[in-house]
């Protein structure tokens, strides 16, 4: 716990000074690669769409997040680990606390993230009052969407701006340790970030957040079968790299070049 506290303090100190880095991970191999390279590792419920081919995140279960969360959290030694609470697992204070305790006990993660709006801030407070490190998530809440094509940026009207600003302030008061801002327009993201003392982590919410998060599969381009959001920058073409490696392997097997003596027990 002390370790979490001191690492969190380091990230708090970065506010307004140095951007905080965060990426998703769902498997042990990725967790081991990114540990220590980013400040925060998020086991997002995006695993439903990214790993399981679901159309949205509403079918992600507690069991799925617990298993992927445990695999990742057990292999994160330097960074801090956040796990998403799935859709319908935090509908009341009682259910949220029960499930939060279950995820933490099973995975030993550092933080839990809940998609938040003005209706459920009291749940964040309840978890926080019970010693759970909570991350809020405002702006676009993907768990509310069956069809991701309908997702649009937020912060276009005065009413929307006021509502998001008060959600951010109330989340800080409720004890949230970070707030993820998803698809929030630049001006509003900037205003929210300077109005609160806890770090904002943006996804599609401009450079004016205290940190950035994206889905790792998107920046590696492992799956090109769906259109990526405009805020995604591609850092490599992993789909092509894997495809080339598999072609080479299959060719070597067919040409009887693999396995060679070197790869055999003589
Ligand atoms: O589920 C997820 O991966 C997220 C994002 C913020 C990346 O919540």
pLDDT digits (tens, 9 = 90+) for 43-73: 999 999 999 999 999 999 999 999 999 999 9
Instruction: Look up 160 and say whether it is catalytic.
Output: no
Count: domains in the chain:
2
Please give the share of the chain, as a percent, with pLDDT higher than 90. Answer: 95
pLDDT band at residue 2 under the 50/70/90 scheme:
low
Q: In this structure, are 55 and 187 located in the same domain?
A: yes
CB atoms under 10 Å from CB of 219, counted, come to 17
Q: Is the CB of 180 under 6 A from ligand 1?
A: yes
User: Which range marks the domain in which residue 254 is found?
Assistant: 238-266
Q: How far apart are CA 44 and CA 84, in angstroms?
A: 5
The CB of 141 under 6 Å from ligand 1? The reply is no
Q: pTM score, two decimals?
A: 0.97
| E runs forming strands in the chain | 20-24, 40-43, 80-84, 111-115, 134-139, 178-182, 200-203, 211-214
Residues 178 and 245 occupy one common structural domain: no
List pLDDT tens digits, range 101-124: 999 999 999 999 999 999 999 999
Ligand 1, atom 8: closest residue by C-alpha: 44
Ligand 1 within 6 A of CB of 45 = yes
Q: Tell me: the pLDDT tens digits for 139-178?
A: 999 999 999 888 999 999 999 999 999 999 999 999 999 9
> Residue 1: pLDDT band by 50, 70, 90 thresholds?
very low
**Is residue 253 located within the same domain as residue 218?**
no
Q: The domain spanning residue 30 has which CATH number? A: 3.20.20.60
* pLDDT at res. 225: 78
Are 74 and 108 in a shared domain? yes
Give me ligand 1 centre to Cα 247, in Å: 33
Identify whether 181 is preceded by a cis peptide bond (ω within 30 of 0): no
Out of 102, 122, 160, 182, the active site residue is 182
């Amino acid at each position: 716990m002390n370790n979490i506290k001191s690492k969190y303090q380091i990230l708090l100190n970065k506010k307004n000074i140095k951007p905080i880095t965060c990426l998703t991970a769902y498997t042990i191999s990725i967790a081991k690669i990114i540990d220590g390279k980013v400040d925060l590792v998020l086991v997002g419920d995006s695993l439903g769409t990214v790993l399981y081919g679901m159309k949205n995140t509403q079918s992600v279960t507690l069991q799925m997040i617990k298993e992927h969360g445990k695999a990742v959290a057990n292999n994160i030694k330097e960074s801090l680990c956040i796990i998403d609470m799935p859709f319908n697992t935090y509908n009341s204070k009682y259910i949220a606390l029960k499930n939060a305790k279950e995820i933490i006990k099973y995975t030993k993660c550092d933080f839990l993230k809940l998609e938040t709006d003005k209706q459920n801030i009291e749940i964040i407070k309840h978890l926080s009052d019970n010693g759970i490190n909570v991350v809020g998530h405002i702006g676009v809440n993907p768990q509310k969407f069956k069809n991701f094509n309908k997702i649009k940026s937020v912060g276009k009207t005065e009413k929307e701006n006021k509502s998001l600003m008060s959600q951010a302030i109330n989340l800080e008061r409720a004890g949230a340790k970070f707030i993820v801002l998803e698809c929030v327009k630049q001006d509003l993201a900037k205003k929210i970030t300077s109005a609160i003392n806890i770090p904002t982590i943006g996804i599609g919410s401009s450079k004016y957040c205290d940190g950035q998060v994206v889905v790792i599969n998107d920046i590696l381009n492992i799956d090109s079968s769906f259109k990526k959001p405009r805020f995604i920058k591609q850092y490599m073409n992993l789909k092509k790299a894997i495809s080339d490696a598999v072609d080479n392997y299959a060719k070597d097997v067919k040409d009887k070049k693999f396995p060679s003596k070197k790869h055999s027990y003589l």
